[in-house]
Structure 1
Amino acid sequence: MVQGVQDVELLQKLHVGIVVHAPDASVIFLNARACELLGVSKGDMLGAQDLMPGWSLKQEDDRWLTPDEYPVNRVISSRLPLAEQVLGVVRPGHEDVTWAMVSAFPVFDADGALEKVVISFHDVSQLKHTEAVLKERAEQLRLVLEGADLGLWDWNIRSGEVKRNARWATMLGYTYEEIEHTTMQWSDFVHPDDRERAWASIIEVLEGRAPTHKLEYRMQHKDGSYRWILDQASVMQRDEAGRPVRMCGTHADVTERKLMEEEIAHQARTDYLTGVFNRRHFMALATAEIERAKRYDSDLSILMLDVDRFKRINDRHGHRVGDAVLRALCKGCHAALRTPDVFGRLGGEEFAILLPETDLEAAAEVAERLRLVAADASVPEESGRPVRFTVSIGVSAMVSDDDDIGTLLNAADRALYAAKNAGRNRVQVLAR
C-alpha cells in the first residue's frame, strides 16, 4: 500500500494519473486523476492484476502489446524504469483511442527487494490529434509542392541553417543528400552577375523595406549550365524587437519560359532571313550610340552596303539563291566586325553598320575589308556553278552634335550611290 496520509493526499492532487502496483502486479492504489482518465472507479481497479476485461494497449505504430509488454510487467521483469512511452488505451465499447504518455519505475525496500511499481500517465490524445493534423497538412503541402514542381527553403536566420526539400536539389541536378543546408551554398550557386541583386532583394525584405522577395536569377546546375529560377519568399517570424527570425520561400525553374521570352525578344529585334538587327531595332541602337558618342566626345562612323545587281541575281537564279546571297553576306560581315558594331538590315538588299569609336579613315578600312569578304563569298546553285556577288559601300562619319541617325544615313546613302555610279564593287567615302 501507499504509506503516509500526506503522501496519499499529495498523489490525489496531482494532475497526472498515478497507479501503484504490488510486486505481483496487483493494483494497490490509484488516484482520482487515474480514475478520471481511465473512466473507471477505484473499486474496479484495486486488486486487479491485469487490465480490465476487454481492454488492450497498442503502440503508435498500431501494434498491439502482449501482457508481458505492459509497462508494469516490463518493470517487474527487468527491474528497470520505463520513461515516457506513448501508448493507446482501447476500452471495450469505445471506438476512440485514449493516448497516454506513460512512465513507470520500481521501488525497492532496504534489502533490495521489489516493493512496488509506480505508474504515472497523462492524456496526450489532443496532442496526438494535433500531430496527426499537422502531419496531414505537411503531406498536403508536400503534394502541392511536388505538383507545382516547387523547391522549398526554410531559413533559420539566427542559426544560419536552411532546410530544403528534395526538389530544391533535383532542380539543380543534385540529390537531396548532396546539398548543404546553408545560405552560403545557395549564394555560391547563384550566377556571379546576379548574386548582388539577389542578396539586395532579400535584405530589403529582412530590413522591412519590402513586403516580399520576388526575383528571377540564374543558378548553376550540376552539369555547369545555368537555370533560371523564380525565387519568392517572405519573413515568416520576427522577434519582439522586430528582427527577422525565419524566412521561407520557394524556387521554380522558369528556364523554358525565359528561353522562350528571349527567343520572342530576339525575333522582335532581328531580321528573320539574315539574323542581323531589323530596321526598327537598328535605329534604336544607333540613336543610343550617337548620344553616347556625343556625351563622351568620341568618334562614330557609319557604312551603307548594297548588293550589286541583286535584282539580276533573283531573276536569273531565283529568290532562294537571292536569299542565300543575303545570308552569306551577313555571315561574312559578322565574322569581320567587332562586338560593339551595330549591323542591321534596312530593307531588301540594303544594310547599315554603325561603328562606335571609329573615325572616317578607320571606317574606310573596315568597309574595304567587308567588300573583299563579299567578293570572296559564293553561294551554290542547282547547276553546280557557284553564284558570286559583290557589294558597294558608302562611308560617312559624325561631325557635329547636330547629327542624328537620319543625317548619318543620308550621308552614307549619298556615298553609296556614288560608289554605284563609279562602277560598283567599291568603297566610297563622303567627307563632310
Structure 2
Amino acid sequence: MLRSFGVGAIVSSTSLGAGICREVAMVQGVQDLELLQKLHVGVVVHAADARVIFLNDRACDLLGISKRDMLGALDLMPGWSLQDEKGHWLSPEDYPVNRVISTRLPLAEQVLGVVRPGIEGVAWAMVSAFPVFDPRGALEKIVISFYDVSQLKRTEAVLKERAEQLRFVLEGADLGLWDWSILTGEVMRNERWATMLGYTYEEIEHTTMQWSDFVHPDDRERAWASINAVLAGRAPTHKLEYRMQHKDGSYRWILDQANVTQRDEQGRPTRMCGIHADVTERKLLEEEVARQARTDYLTGVFNRRHFMALGGAEIERARRYVSELSILMLDVDAFKRINDRYGHHVGDAVLRKLADGCHSALRSLDVFGRLGGEEFAILLPETGLAAAAEVAERLRLLLAEAQVPIEGGQVVRFTVSIGVASMSSPEDSIDTLLNTADRALYAAKHAGRNRVHTLSS
C-alpha cells in the first residue's frame, strides 16, 4: 500500500483553524461527499494558495496521515522526494498542485514515485489534478485524485521476463490480463478480464474481435490506432483509457496498458501482453468536477465563463460558414420585489423554473447560460433576427404561464423582458452581441416590461 504520499502538495503538521473549517464546509457544500467517501481512489482538495482544505478517507489510508495533519498543510513531509517514471527528481514547482496553480490547466494520469527516508524502494501513484474556477473565472480549488499503482509498476517489470508468472500476480491485483498471440490471433484472458465486464470466464471468447466489439464505437478507432502504433514500432507502449460495454448494457471506463513481449528474428511482433483496470469511479469524479467548473450551481445552465467561451466559438463558426447567429438576453421583471416579498428561497425557485422552462423549449444546439443574478442569455445559431424574435416571444409567453408553488398552496408567477440582437457583420464579437442585446433588453424594460424588443448589432 502507498503510505505517506503527499501527491503534489503539501503536507505538514498544523492545527485546524476556524478559517479552514469554513473552507472545508464550502467544499462539502459543493462536492458529493458520499460519492467521494465511497471512491477507491484518494481525493485531496486544495485552495487556490495550495493549502489542503479537504481529503476523503481513502486519501488518509493511502497517505498514512490523519486529516488533522493534512488540513492546511503547505509542504511535503521532511525528507520526502518525488520522481517521475524515468527517475528524474521533481522540483516543488513541478508538483501536480503547483503546476495546476501556475498553468490553470488540468494534469491527467501522471505516474509519480515517492522516496521516503528509512523505507526501501519507491511507492508509485497515478495522479490527476484538475482546476475548479468560480463564476468569474478565478481559480477556486484544485482537486487531486490518485490511486496506488505500485503493484502495477512491479508487474510491468515482471511482464518483460515472465509473462506466464504475471498471470498469477495479476489475479491478486484486481487487474484483467490479456495475452495476444499475434500469429494465431488467439487472445488468452484471465477471469478478472471477464468479470470486470459482468461476464463469467466461460462466457467470453478468446479473440481480438470480441474485444473490439466490446469497445465503444466512438473509441474503437482510437484504441486500435494505439495498439497498431506499438506493433509498427511508432510507439513504445500502448496506454489508453476508453469505454467498454458491460453485460448490462452500460459502459465502463478501462485503463488498458500493454507492450510487445516477443518478436521474431526479423523484429516483427509475435506476442503482446496487457492489463485492464476499471477506472470508472475516477472518471465519474473527473466528469463531475469538470461539470461543476462550467455550470451555474443554482440553475444547472452554463455559467458566464463557459457561456462566453462557447459564444466565441459560435461567432467563429458563423464567420467561417457565413451563417446567421442571434442572441437573447432575458431578465426577470421585478425580481427584487419577489425576493423582498417571498424570500430568497422563492427567488431561487423562480430562477430554476425559468431555466427549466427555457431548456424545454430550446434546441440542442442552442447555448443557454446565466450571466449573473436574474439575467440569462441564449445563443441561437443559424437563426436570423426575425426568427430569434419569434423564439423570444414563445419563451416570454411560456414563462408567463409558469407557476412556482409556495407555502399555503399558493403560487408565484413571474414575467420576463427579452432583448434580441443578431450578428450583422463579420467584425461582431460575442461582446458586441451581448451589448446590443442588453440595450434591447433595457428598451423592453423601459417600454413597460414583459415584452420583447429587437435591435441590430
- TM-score by length of structure 2 reads 0.64
- CA separation in 2, counterparts of 1:171 and 1:400? 55
Give the secondary-structure state (helix, strand or coil) at the position aligned to 2:258: strand
Indicate the residue corresponding to 1:202 in structure 2.
Answer: 227
Amino acid at match of 1:364: A
Amino acid at match of 1:179: I
Indicate the residue corresponding to 2:218 in structure 1.
Answer: 193
Indicate the residue corresponding to 1:353 in structure 2.
Answer: 378
Indicate the residue corresponding to 1:94 in structure 2.
Answer: none
Is 1:367 aligned to 2:392, yes or no? yes
Structure 2 residues without counterparts, runs of 5 or longer: 1-158
Cα displacement string for residues 350-374 of structure 1 (whole angstroms, at most 9, x for unaligned residues): 0000011111111011111111121
For residues 292-331 of structure 1, the aligned pairs below 5 Å read 292-331=317-356
- CA separation in 1, counterparts of 2:394 and 2:265? 71
- CA separation in 2, counterparts of 1:416 and 1:340? 23
- CA separation in 2, counterparts of 1:298 and 1:209? 42
Indicate the residue corresponding to 2:238 in structure 1.
Answer: 213
Contact 2:186 2:206 (8 Å CA) reproduced: yes
- CA separation in 1, counterparts of 2:452 and 2:256? 54
- CA separation in 2, counterparts of 1:190 and 1:315? 55
- The match for 1:151 among 171, 176, 188 is 176
Amino acid at match of 1:209: R
- CA separation in 2, counterparts of 1:148 and 1:365? 60
Give the secondary-structure state (helix, strand or coil) at the position aligned to 2:329: strand
For residues 86-105 of structure 1, the aligned pairs below 5 Å read none
For residues 73-152 of structure 1, the aligned pairs below 5 Å read 141-142=166-167, 144-152=169-177
Paired-residue identity, %: 82
Give the secondary-structure state (helix, strand or coil) at the position aligned to 1:280: helix
- CA separation in 2, counterparts of 1:424 and 1:393? 9
Is 1:340 aligned to 2:365, yes or no? yes
Q: Shift in Å at residue 241 of structure 1?
A: 1.2
- The match for 2:251 among 218, 223, 226 is 226
Give the secondary-structure state (helix, strand or coil) at the position aligned to 1:407: helix
Indicate the residue corresponding to 1:430 in structure 2.
Answer: 455
Q: Shift in Å at residue 147 of structure 1?
A: 3.8
Give the secondary-structure state (helix, strand or coil) at the position aligned to 2:197: coil
Q: 1:307 to 1:147 in 2, by over 3 A?
A: farther
- CA separation in 2, counterparts of 1:273 and 1:220? 34
- CA separation in 2, counterparts of 1:350 and 1:147? 56
- TM-score by length of structure 1 reads 0.67
Amino acid at match of 1:172: L
What number of residue pairs does the alignment pair up?
A: 297
Amino acid at match of 2:209: M
Greater RCO structure (CA 8 Å; 6+ sep): 2
Bigger Rg over Cα: 1
Q: Shift in Å at residue 143 of structure 1?
A: 5.7
Structure 1 residues without counterparts, runs of 5 or longer: 1-133
Give the secondary-structure state (helix, strand or coil) at the position aligned to 2:293: helix
Give the secondary-structure state (helix, strand or coil) at the position aligned to 1:251: strand
For residues 20-59 of structure 1, the aligned pairs below 5 Å read none
Indicate the residue corresponding to 1:113 in structure 2.
Answer: none
Q: Shift in Å at residue 383 of structure 1?
A: 2.6
- CA separation in 1, counterparts of 2:426 and 2:320? 9
Q: 1:264 to 1:376 in 2, by over 3 A?
A: same
- CA separation in 1, counterparts of 2:449 and 2:173? 62
Indicate the residue corresponding to 1:278 in structure 2.
Answer: 303
- CA separation in 2, counterparts of 1:140 and 1:270? 49
- CA separation in 2, counterparts of 1:242 and 1:305? 66
Indicate the residue corresponding to 1:403 in structure 2.
Answer: 428
Deviates more, 1:165-174 or 1:143-152: 143-152
